Amino acid sequence: MTMARQHGQISYKSELARKSIHLLSLLIPIIYVHVPRLTGVTILVCMTLVSLGVDVARHYHAPSRAWLMKLIGPLLRKHETENGTMTLTGATWVLIAATLTLGVFPLVVGVAAFCVLIVSDTFAALVGRRFGVRRFLDKSLVGTSTFIITGWLVVLVVGQIYHLPSTFYVAGCIGACSAGLAEAAAVRFRIDDNLAIPLSMAMTMMILERLLQTLGGEAFSHLVR
C-alpha cells in the first residue's frame, strides 16, 4: 500500500488544493522584506490572532463551525476536524511559524527557513503521497528526499538573490537536511511540522554560522536587513 492510501488522509485532489493555498504563503516573506521589520511583525501577529480566533470559533461556536466546515471542510485533515479537542488548522500554524521565524531570526535566515517550509513541504507531500512506498520515520523516503532537494534549491535561490557568501550555502543546505528530518519525525514528537520545519532550519543555520566563523568563514546573517 502506498503512503497516499494511509487511513485518514484527505483525497489527493484535496491535497493539491490545500498545497496550492499553502504556496500562496510565499507572499508573506515577499511582502515582509519590503516593509519595516516592526510593521511586518505587527501584521503577522494580527493575522495570527485572527486565525486563532477563527479556530476558536470553529470549535466552540456551532454556527461558525457549520459554515466553516462547509467552506473548507474538504481541505482539513482528520485531526483538524475532531470534536471535543481544540486543534489548530495548518493555516494557523503557518502564521505562528512565520511570526516566530521572521520575527526572531535575522532576515535572511528567517526568509530561507520559511520559504523551505512552504516550497519543500508542498512538493514533499505531493510527491510522497503519489510515489511514496518505503517509509522513513513518519513519512516516506521519497517524500523526505524531495523535501531536502527542493530545500537546497530554495537555499540556492535565496543565496543568489542576496549575493551571499559560501557559508550561507553550507549552513542552508545542512539546515534543509535538519528541516527534512524534523518534518519526517514531527508526528512522533507531537510537533506540528509547520512549526518544526522552519525553527529547526533557522536554529541549525545560526549554530553553523557561529561554527563556520570559528573556522575562518564569513558571517552571513547580518548581510541582509
Name the nearest CA neighbour of 55 among 197, 185, 192. 192
Q: Mean pLDDT, 10 residues at a time, over the chain (225 residues)?
A: 45 72 89 93 95 82 65 58 69 93 95 96 88 83 94 97 96 97 88 93 97 94 84
Cell 522513513, residue located: 136
Which pLDDT belongs to residue 54? 85
- pLDDT the model gives residue 19: 74
Question: How many Å apart are CA 219 and CA 206, to the nearest integer?
Answer: 10
pLDDT of residue 5: 37
- How many Å apart are CA 82 and CA 62, to the nearest integer? 13
Question: Which pLDDT belongs to residue 2?
Answer: 39
DSSP line for 163-225 = T--HHHHHHHHHHHHHHHHHHHHTTTTT--HHHHHHHHHHHHHHHHHHHHHHTTPPP-TTS--
User: What pLDDT sits at residue 7?
Assistant: 40
pLDDT of residue 86: 66
